[in-house]
Chains A and B, each alone.
Chain A
Amino acid sequence: MSKETFRNTELIQASLKKRYAREKRFQLYGQLAVLAGFAFLFILLFDIVSKGTPAFTQKYLLVDVHFSADKLGVAPGAGEEELSRANYSGVIKASLREMFPDVSSRSDKRRLYRMVSIGAEYDLRDQVLSDPGLIGQRKDVWLLAHSEAASYLKGQVSRESPEAERRVKDVQMDWLDQLRDDGRTRSAFNTLFFLEGDSREPELAGIRAALQGSFFTLLVTFLLAFPVGVFAAVYLEEFAPRNRITDLIEININNLAAVPSIVFGLLGLAVFINFFELPRSAPLVGGIVLSLMTLPTIIITSRAAIQAVSPSIREAALGVGASKLQTVFHHVLPVAMPGILTGSIIGMAQALGESAPLLMIGMVAFIMDSPASVTDPATVLPVQIFLWADSPERGFTEKTSAAIMVLMGFLILMNALAIYLRKRFETK
């Protein structure tokens, strides 16, 4: 071994250490980056889930209700119409006063009444309507607690905080403690959250109307964007000549995918509502706007899926004398379909989470009733979240997080479906 080679080995060994150290350092940076990403994700999820989970339970107070005809303001043997207009809130107030006879001052009385949700009146009305024999009797009834009372029962407000800064006052806390000690409070799954529309009262607000609005909007989006997108992709990929015009179209489609979504909202407002005079706040217009937004995604992914189909399948079909159209519809599209569906589902998931363009076309309304058709005023889940996040009441904070959880659930579901389809496609 010559001296020269010996020195080279030395040099290489010396540099090796440095190189390996650099590699280690780089790996460490990478791991830190991944860790940071996960940490942020975890914090976000933890925050949302911990805030949102209480919204899925509802608190009830057991109140000894005296259905006196006097308080209800109805004559004995009153008809249904009279019963439905009776003074149920008066009955509840009187019953509460009877349970807490020490309450005397006006402001304390108001605080006492504020422990029960105004939704309880309608419960009572329904009970009386289904059984008019209740009039004149006493009965223990579970009444829906007001969101402020519920927040104390859920442990979200503590006595230690200064009384002036909280909505639930000390006296109310005393009453609630007393009720709880008597076993007159109860938790139940919050079915109202899934069955009701928006409300001014947090304990009565639900996402049903927003879900239905999202459903109708996405339905319109899918019905428009899927066929148009797939056929555009098929035409561009299989039939269109390659020339300047198709090149221009291709560039524009790619650019369209990067247009800020609010621009589509402005377009929807100007064209569909102001020019074509379609109804404002309707899922129809929302769906059209979102389909414009989703179209580029669907076209681009569909073209990629069609391109990925092996040329040998086309040759085989053409070789037995299939026409171009038969080749495309019998052989190319079925093979490309999982890819096309994957792209479409991801596009639809984008549309489901979109709020900005819908604000522009007025889908930001306060919607109590679920829309029954695509032309009824409606809102969608992300906009509902936006509305609740904007509300000052404490009860809406948990509703906001709960609605985000529902939205994320749907998004995860749609993405899982996309992944499933892609996996099935790959193993073929």
Chain B
Amino acid sequence: MNANDSTAYGAVPEEAVGLDLNDHTAMDDYQTIGEPLVDNAKMSARDVNVFYADKHAIMDVSLDIGENQVLAMIGPSGCGKSTFLRSLNRMNDIIPICRVSGNIALDGEDIYASNQDTVLLRARVGMVFQKPNPFPKSIYENVAYGPRIHGLAHSKAEMDEIVEQSLRRASLWDEVKDVLDKPGTGLSGGQQQRLCIARAIAVSPEVILMDEPCSALDPIATARIEELIDELKERFTIAIVTHSMQQAARVSQRTAYFHLGKLIEVGDTKQIFTMPRHELTENYITGRFG
């Protein structure tokens, strides 16, 4: 088996492929510096290891995501930040060769427990993907799909209300309110991503995971999404993976720096960007590599 043995359900995230672990054997017992744990943790990961077949993609990561906070995860390609994010709502389950060990809890409950239902988990922990991926259905259907399969609306009026509210929260309502029956795939890239955010918040999740949500967008669309993330943190707990350090600095309260599968440093965003304590973090945020 190798990393190319994937099912129709998406390949192994590309960052896992370039991982060469033999170089850093010296760091085996690395201890994260900074404050990985917080008092008001919504989700907490302890000693998490993720493997793709025999590739060790995440090593002993312990990290909390504070409630109603934005946690940014940064790091060079292949550092495992997307893999870590996807293990938070068990999206990694659909990759047959992926294995997760350690403990990840949502509100103190182990999400990898045998009695944990992934459908329920993903309703509570929503996700926005790197590439906007609206369903090839109408804008209305895109937003209504989640609430419908979970039976959240009991009438058409209630559903309309959920759709409108979700689109408003994703600051897309004014642009699409007259074209709700048009296909979601016909919107612009930025609008599509906001539609995906609306779709995610329509099921009222507690946590929203964002995997480089702006990487396919232009600066204006990116700015709108960033504004939106700032508003959304009032209601939701957000974890965002990003390649843009400016974005991490703008939208997050805490920042975690990953390097080759290890969590190097976590801390207050301001502190990470002004006074990084680890050499690797400093090198990365000052643009010396990555």
What is the interface of chain A, defined by CB distance below 8 A to chain B?
237-238, 242, 306-307, 309-323, 326, 330-331, 334-335, 428
- Which chain B residues lie closer than 8 Å to A335 at the CB level? 136
- Which chain A residues lie closer than 8 Å to B26 at the CB level? none
Given contacts A306-B8, A314-B9, A316-B129, contact A321 B122 (CB under 8 A): yes
Say yes or no: A321 contacts B150, CB within 8 Å. Answer: yes
Partner of A315, one of B126, B129, B203: B129
Q: What are some 15 contacts across the A-B interface (CB < 8 A)?
A: A237-B8, A306-B8, A310-B133, A312-B129, A315-B94, A315-B133, A316-B133, A316-B199, A318-B122, A319-B129, A320-B199, A322-B119, A322-B145, A322-B149, A323-B149
Chain B, residues 117-154, CB within 8 Å of chain A (1/0): the string is 00111110011110101111000000001100110000
The distance in angstroms between the C-alpha atoms of A319 and B89, with both chains bound, is: 8
Say yes or no: A316 contacts B134, CB within 8 Å. Answer: yes
Q: Does B196 contact A (CB under 8 A)?
A: yes
Q: Does B33 contact A (CB under 8 A)?
A: no
Q: Does B200 contact A (CB under 8 A)?
A: yes
Residue in B closest to A312 when the chains form the complex, CB atoms? B133
Q: A306-B8, A315-B91, A317-B145 are in contact. List 9 more A-B contacts (CB 8 A).
A: A311-B11, A315-B94, A316-B133, A320-B199, A320-B202, A321-B122, A321-B126, A321-B150, A326-B149
Q: Give min CB distance, B90 to chain A, whole Å.
A: 9
Q: Does B10 contact A (CB under 8 A)?
A: yes
Q: Give min CB distance, B101 to chain A, whole Å.
A: 21
What is the interface of chain B, defined by CB distance below 8 A to chain A?
7-11, 89, 91, 94, 96, 119-123, 126-129, 131, 133-136, 145-146, 149-150, 196, 199-200, 202-203
Q: Give min CB distance, B46 to chain A, whole Å.
A: 24
- Which chain A residues lie closer than 8 Å to B120 at the CB level? 321
Q: Give min CB distance, B215 to chain A, whole Å.
A: 14
Partner of A320, one of B7, B8, B9, B145: B145
The distance in angstroms between the C-alpha atoms of A329 and B146, with both chains bound, is: 14
- Which chain A residues lie closer than 8 Å to B89 at the CB level? 319
- Which chain A residues lie closer than 8 Å to B96 at the CB level? 242
Query: A306, A311, A313, A326: which has the most chain B beta carbons within 10 Å?
Result: A311
The distance in angstroms between the C-alpha atoms of A318 and B96, with both chains bound, is: 15
Say yes or no: B122 contacts A330, CB within 8 Å. Answer: no
The 10 closest A-B pairs by CB, nearest first: A321-B123, A311-B10, A320-B146, A312-B133, A319-B127, A321-B122, A316-B133, A323-B119, A321-B119, A307-B8
Given contacts A307-B8, A311-B9, contact A319 B136 (CB under 8 A): no
The distance in angstroms between the C-alpha atoms of A321 and B199, with both chains bound, is: 11
The distance in angstroms between the C-alpha atoms of A86 and B146, with both chains bound, is: 77
The distance in angstroms between the C-alpha atoms of A67 and B133, with both chains bound, is: 81
Residue in B closest to A320 when the chains form the complex, CB atoms? B146
The distance in angstroms between the C-alpha atoms of A320 and B121, with both chains bound, is: 10
Say yes or no: A319 contacts B200, CB within 8 Å. Answer: yes
- Which chain A residues lie closer than 8 Å to B122 at the CB level? 318-321
- Which chain A residues lie closer than 8 Å to B136 at the CB level? 313, 334-335, 428
The distance in angstroms between the C-alpha atoms of A319 and B133, with both chains bound, is: 11
Q: Give min CB distance, A282 to chain B, whole Å.
A: 40
- Which chain B residues lie closer than 8 Å to A331 at the CB level? 135
The distance in angstroms between the C-alpha atoms of A279 and B149, with both chains bound, is: 47
- Which chain A residues lie closer than 8 Å to B149 at the CB level? 320-323, 326, 330
Say yes or no: B135 contacts A315, CB within 8 Å. Answer: no
The distance in angstroms between the C-alpha atoms of A237 and B9, with both chains bound, is: 10
Q: Give min CB distance, A143 to chain B, whole Å.
A: 63
- Which chain A residues lie closer than 8 Å to B128 at the CB level? 319
